[in-house]
């Protein structure tokens, strides 16, 4: 009997120990992710031009250009305005998004041909953004609340976290995210695993530039789909951290104006 009790206590202790260790890993993961988000806080307003280069498996290329304005909000997710500037048939098509830390985002789409504004569903997280390898969820604002975290490893200044999306509609089972501890915990790379847990895509952050002595922004984001061999490169230019947006710049009227 003593033996049994002893054995039982022993395994319980080990069990608790494992649980404790897992809790520690989760805590450490959350700490790092929080530091990364905290380090990027306070940019206020930013405007940027983007070029999107889509490459199919035969190497054929097509391009889109867009302008993006982001207005940072602390109490809730950011507000964002995107306008397509090419190709010409979708020029002036624009979206207004109010992201939320918890729950679905609010999103409106403006169609210039008939001057119509539509409220659209934002529940399609896993679908591709304008035929690219970026899913909608890959482009939404970074919020702590969107994932659960687990510390995996640290090699030099690189920290590896496993992040599991909270939203069941996410197209991913998990992501392995590489943070750079020496550079304000900026993200260097993300490996995306699909719902069957096979490696789907890799996102690499290229040519980081430091703005305002605080905010790291990569000039290029390269997304490679390992299952289809398709690629999308996002090239950022004309970062402007000196503008000051107001709530008035993110209304339905502002959405229509942006299309001009």
> Using CB under 8 A as the criterion, which residues of the chain lie in contact with another protein when the complex forms?
54, 56, 62, 87-91, 104, 106, 114-121, 123-124, 126-128, 130-131, 171, 243, 246-248, 251-254, 257-258, 260
Q: How far is the CB of 28 from another protein (least distance, A)?
A: 34
Which residues does residue 65 pair with via DSSP β-bridges, in sequence order?
51, 86
Beta carbon nearer to another protein, 12 or 124: 124
Q: How far is the CB of 186 from another protein (least distance, A)?
A: 29
**Under a CB-based contact definition with an 8 Å cutoff, are residues 104 and 84 in contact?**
no
Beta carbon nearer to another protein, 38 or 252: 252
Q: How far is the CB of 84 from another protein (least distance, A)?
A: 11
Which helix (H) or strand (E) covers residue 225, if one does? Answer: strand 215-225
Q: Give backbone dihedrals phi and psi of 256, rounded to 5 degrees, phi first.
A: -65, -40
With H, G, I as helix, E, B as strand and everything else as coil, classify residue 79: strand
Beta carbon nearer to another protein, 156 or 168: 168
Q: How far is the CB of 117 from another protein (least distance, A)?
A: 7
Beta carbon nearer to another protein, 13 or 243: 243
CA-to-CA distance for 205 and 200, rounded, in angstroms?
17
CA-to-CA distance for 256 and 112, rounded, in angstroms?
8
Q: How far is the CB of 88 from another protein (least distance, A)?
A: 3
Q: Which residues contact 199 (CB under 8 A, 6 or more apart)?
A: 191, 192, 193, 226
Q: How far is the CB of 104 from another protein (least distance, A)?
A: 6
Beta carbon nearer to another protein, 12 or 123: 123
What single DSSP character describes residue 135? B
Beta carbon nearer to another protein, 70 or 254: 254
CA-to-CA distance for 38 and 214, rounded, in angstroms?
11
What the block records as the tokens of 110 is 């403006």
Which residues does residue 66 pair with via DSSP β-bridges, in sequence order?
50, 84
Beta carbon nearer to another protein, 96 or 218: 96
CA-to-CA distance for 131 and 137, rounded, in angstroms?
14
Q: How far is the CB of 74 from another protein (least distance, A)?
A: 16
Greatest Cα-to-Cα distance within the chain, rounded to the nearest angstrom: 82
Residue 232 burial (C-beta neighbours within 10 Å; 0-12, 13-18, 19+): buried
């Amino acid at each position: 009997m003593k033996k049994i009790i002893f054995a039982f206590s022993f395994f319980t202790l080990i069990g608790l120990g494992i649980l404790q260790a897992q809790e520690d890993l989760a805590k450490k993961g959350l700490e790092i992710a929080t530091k990364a988000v905290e380090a990027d806080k306070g940019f206020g307003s930013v405007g940027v031009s983007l070029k999107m280069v889509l490459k199919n498996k035969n190497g054929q290329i097509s391009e889109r250009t867009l302008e993006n304005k982001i207005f940072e909000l602390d109490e809730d997710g950011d507000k964002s305005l995107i306008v397509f500037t090419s190709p010409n048939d979708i020029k002036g098509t624009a979206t207004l998004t109010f992201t939320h830390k918890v729950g679905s985002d609010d999103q409106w789409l403006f169609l210039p041909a008939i001057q119509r504004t539509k409220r659209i569903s934002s529940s399609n997280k896993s679908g591709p953004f304008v035929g690219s390898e970026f899913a909608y969820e890959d482009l939404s604002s970074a919020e702590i609340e969107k994932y659960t975290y687990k510390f995996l490893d640290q090699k030099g200044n690189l920290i590896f976290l496993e992040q599991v999306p909270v939203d069941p509609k996410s197209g991913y089972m998990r992501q392995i995210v590489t943070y750079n501890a020496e550079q304000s915990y900026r993200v260097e790379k993300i490996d995306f695993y699909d719902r069957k847990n096979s490696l789907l895509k890799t996102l690499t952050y290229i040519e980081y530039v430091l703005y305002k002595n605080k905010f790291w922004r990569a000039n290029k984001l390269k997304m490679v789909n390992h299952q289809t061999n398709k690629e999308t490169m996002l090239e950022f230019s004309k970062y402007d951290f000196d503008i000051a947006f107001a709530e008035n710049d993110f209304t339905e009227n502002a959405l229509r104006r942006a299309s001009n």
